[in-house]
Structure 1
């Protein structure tokens, strides 16, 4: 019996049909974002907002996410720089030798993608994408390039928000970062009340296991597999240049400095010195709960691993194209978010509050987890903020949790787990990975859609079931707050 015959035919057929549908009908990521703006604007006007107000909010919000946009761009750049450093590139090549079958390779990529995303979703995307390319160079694996690319995306589409890079958990752990109104509602929620709850850890483990099972069941092999050679834009050859040679006296001074480790050593002393002070002066959960610190850590580590400024700068240059989608699309999401939250009807109520009121009105203590999970997932489909929209949702979501005496930390995790669901079919966060693989969103969405079919009932069920094991704790204000 060959490998194809051994696969459950129904699961492979489902994945291939979804992939074929996505390849034919799924739009480019920018088109997807533009459609989202139009839909949100139409709903806002349908509830009474004037066209002039909607246009004004769109323009005001267009540049509102520039700081966050740059942070996201640096997440991609930092992850790319680390993942393409010579030592890491060698590690990726070694890891790529381990799988023995194409289907096993897909599951291997999924496991490493989800595991690394719990530390950094940016590194996960780049690391897993480069691993797929290294595996694709092994022609004997007969690995489906689309399924492997979808597996590389599972970190961001499944569990990233349950890990250390959760923006919502980071925000709630740092009172200085919270808007004053939110602090009065929630108090301070340390990681021990959010991502480090045993319920959260268990949910992440279950989601990883379920995702791996779906990968195993749906990865095409044999004649059904489409390898990298079937895609015109796919380039799997090694792009990372060898470590630059040691400096010599014949080089010009500027070139000598580019190829010398001297400046790298001095900058690394400063950078890692500051990081050491951060982790010494602050509790661990506070020090790591800062996106700027994450970016600084990855850039500093990337610089050290490249060992030469020339190698580091070349890696940054290769990383920048992968940020193009983030830079051009985030303004649309900023405009969309402001329409959603500030374009009000005659009664002074914005569309986001109408949505919140709708879901909160039909919830009670027992149904709160499922209702808010659905709400967060639906809204996240239109505003894929990477956790940033928690600032918008948190005041009224957490107030509802207080009124229903529902565990506040688990409410954050409801948001985190549910927000990852639309990522499985929303192409925005795929952009850096697509740039590395030379694929389009429609090539991956067929496989990630099957994951979505499994994840939706599983996530909502776990949110409800595990939430029943927690007891409400009143908000804890910081000392002097």
Structure 2
């Protein structure tokens, strides 16, 4: 296990380029495939690319808000105090690894932005309490919990197809989350991973030699926000500053937001779509930050994590435009029809999604590219579109373990680099293939 981990570390450090380059490389690949295999000329492919470039602006905003609201919620005083108290449950390195993996997995299932931030923060608090733990493995354990995100409540693909107006509605209509996120096969995968990932990371700990101690300077900024807030309050009090620090304003708008949440579920039943998930986390963050000033300060930090989404999604939309406009998506659908049957199609969909994720390191962007390919194929073969959606979702989550794009926010919190955790995550990738494949094939 140690040799395999070190091998993957060396490969990743040498050959893995920046995340933004994946979108550009995939653009070139799809352009060339369209020219070579569909009969479309270069000018036609350029037209398809440019015409589709802005088709996902609404979706890009939704994905940005998912990340931002999760980050904001994880940085509320209540959640931070809870993480500090939670860290007291770990007194040994083994307990530290298991605790961080389990909590990060649950948090990621609720919201992937929240899971990344909460996992990184908890790793720091736990390492402060158990300084003998391997900090690199502890942070990798936190990131391994991110594997569950696309089977959870912030999952891009299943929440999108449950939302009216999504770009495949004319083909499949809307698919309720009871058929995707809360299906028997998805719950099986989630539960198995939730219970076994801590044990896999514990085995990784047992196979490791002791490493250097975590950097204590990482925790010296725990009171910085409080000190800055005290300095702000010491300044001259004006009507504007009173409004900025008014708890009443946050309470009133928070209550208004939650009144609508109750109204939404009363009117629509358990309609847990992408918009309502963002809405819940947004207003929960407002209430828990207590004042507009604190909330806006957290927003300023949160938006630093969404730059990649904002700049990459137009490229994903352009890729989708080329694939659909050239007919390339139909040709790829025919390929999967030829090699699949009703039983094997979910597995091939999962594997192909994992491969595509190397080039499109975003669940939403990947669904925009692969959804128009896989859904028509599933309809022709006779496979459930709900299971096809989740196969694409799990493929994206699966290879995120060795795709560093979504690890960056967590690594920024922990003060580590991608090469510090990727070897551990490669082992998680190999293991997790089996429960995911079993769930998709046999349930």
- Tell me the TM-score normalized by structure 2: 0.88
Query: Residues 57-109 of structure 1: CA distance to partner in whole angstroms, max 9, x if unpaired?
Result: 44444444332222222222211111111111111111122222334323322
* Superposition map of 1:303-342 within 5 A: 303-342=286-325
Of stretches 191-200 and 75-84 in structure 1, the one that deviates more from structure 2 is: 191-200
Given that residues 254 and 286 in structure 2 are in contact (C-alpha distance below 8 angstroms), is that contact kept between their aligned partners in structure 1?
yes
- SS at the partner of 1:268? helix
Q: Tell me the equivalent position of 1:363.
A: 340
Query: Residues 5-60 of structure 1: CA distance to partner in whole angstroms, max 9, x if unpaired?
Result: xxxxxx23422332244234432323344333333334334335433344444444
Given that residues 384 and 423 in structure 1 are in contact (C-alpha distance below 8 angstroms), is that contact kept between their aligned partners in structure 2?
yes
State the shift of 1:307 in Å: 0.9
Query: Against the structure 1 CA distance between its residues 323 and 435, is the aligned structure 2 distance closer, same or farther, given a 3 Å change threshold?
Result: farther
Query: Residues 270-304 of structure 1: CA distance to partner in whole angstroms, max 9, x if unpaired?
Result: 222222221222202x1x22x22222221211111
Query: Against the structure 1 CA distance between its residues 254 and 130, is the aligned structure 2 distance closer, same or farther, given a 3 Å change threshold?
Result: same
Query: Against the structure 1 CA distance between its residues 403 and 336, is the aligned structure 2 distance closer, same or farther, given a 3 Å change threshold?
Result: closer
Q: Tell me the equivalent position of 1:472.
A: none
State the shift of 1:142 in Å: 2.6
Query: Residues 327-379 of structure 1: CA distance to partner in whole angstroms, max 9, x if unpaired?
Result: 2333333333333333x2xxxx32x3332221111111232222222233223
Of stretches 165-174 and 242-251 in structure 1, the one that deviates more from structure 2 is: 242-251
Q: Tell me the equivalent position of 1:110.
A: 101
State the shift of 1:395 in Å: 5.5
* Superposition map of 1:242-257 within 5 A: 242=226, 251-257=237-243
Q: Tell me the equivalent position of 2:69.
A: 78
State the shift of 1:261 in Å: 0.9
Q: Tell me the equivalent position of 1:160.
A: 149
Is 1:144 equivalent to 2:109 in the alignment?
no
Of stretches 441-450 and 25-34 in structure 1, the one that deviates more from structure 2 is: 25-34
Query: Residues 130-189 of structure 1: CA distance to partner in whole angstroms, max 9, x if unpaired?
Result: 212223334x43333332222222233x22222222233224434554645213xxx553
Structure with the larger helix share? 2
Given that residues 189 and 435 in structure 2 are in contact (C-alpha distance below 8 angstroms), is that contact kept between their aligned partners in structure 1?
no
Q: Distance in 2 between matches of 1:337 and 1:283?
A: 33
* Superposition map of 1:201-220 within 5 A: 201-219=187-205
Q: Distance in 1 between matches of 2:399 and 2:276?
A: 27
Query: Against the structure 1 CA distance between its residues 133 and 67, is the aligned structure 2 distance closer, same or farther, given a 3 Å change threshold?
Result: farther
Q: Distance in 1 between matches of 2:30 and 2:213?
A: 39
Q: How many equivalent pairs are there?
A: 440
* Superposition map of 1:272-311 within 5 A: 272-284=258-270, 286=271, 288-289=272-273, 291-311=274-294
Query: Against the structure 1 CA distance between its residues 190 and 323, is the aligned structure 2 distance closer, same or farther, given a 3 Å change threshold?
Result: closer
Given that residues 22 and 361 in structure 2 are in contact (C-alpha distance below 8 angstroms), is that contact kept between their aligned partners in structure 1?
no
Aligned partner of 2:381 among 392, 404, 421: 404
State the shift of 1:392 in Å: 5.3
RMSD over equivalenced CA pairs, Å: 3.0
Query: Against the structure 1 CA distance between its residues 15 and 239, is the aligned structure 2 distance closer, same or farther, given a 3 Å change threshold?
Result: farther
Query: Against the structure 1 CA distance between its residues 28 and 97, is the aligned structure 2 distance closer, same or farther, given a 3 Å change threshold?
Result: farther
Given that residues 235 and 437 in structure 1 are in contact (C-alpha distance below 8 angstroms), is that contact kept between their aligned partners in structure 2?
no
* Superposition map of 1:115-126 within 5 A: 115-126=106-117
Given that residues 81 and 302 in structure 1 are in contact (C-alpha distance below 8 angstroms), is that contact kept between their aligned partners in structure 2?
yes
Q: Tell me the equivalent position of 1:413.
A: 390
State the shift of 1:221 in Å: 8.2
Q: Distance in 1 between matches of 2:19 and 2:370?
A: 25
Q: Tell me the equivalent position of 1:269.
A: 255
Q: Tell me the equivalent position of 1:479.
A: none
Query: Against the structure 1 CA distance between its residues 334 and 405, is the aligned structure 2 distance closer, same or farther, given a 3 Å change threshold?
Result: closer
State the shift of 1:400 in Å: 3.6
- The runs of 5 or more residues in structure 1 that have no matched partner are 1-10, 467-481
Query: Against the structure 1 CA distance between its residues 323 and 438, is the aligned structure 2 distance closer, same or farther, given a 3 Å change threshold?
Result: farther
Aligned partner of 2:41 among 8, 32, 50: 50
Of stretches 372-381 and 174-183 in structure 1, the one that deviates more from structure 2 is: 174-183
State the shift of 1:411 in Å: 2.7
Structure 1 stretches of 4+ with a deviation exceeding 6 A read: 245-250
Q: Tell me the equivalent position of 1:475.
A: none
Given that residues 49 and 322 in structure 2 are in contact (C-alpha distance below 8 angstroms), is that contact kept between their aligned partners in structure 1?
yes
Query: Residues 295-325 of structure 1: CA distance to partner in whole angstroms, max 9, x if unpaired?
Result: 2221211111111222111111122222223
- The runs of 5 or more residues in structure 2 that have no matched partner are none
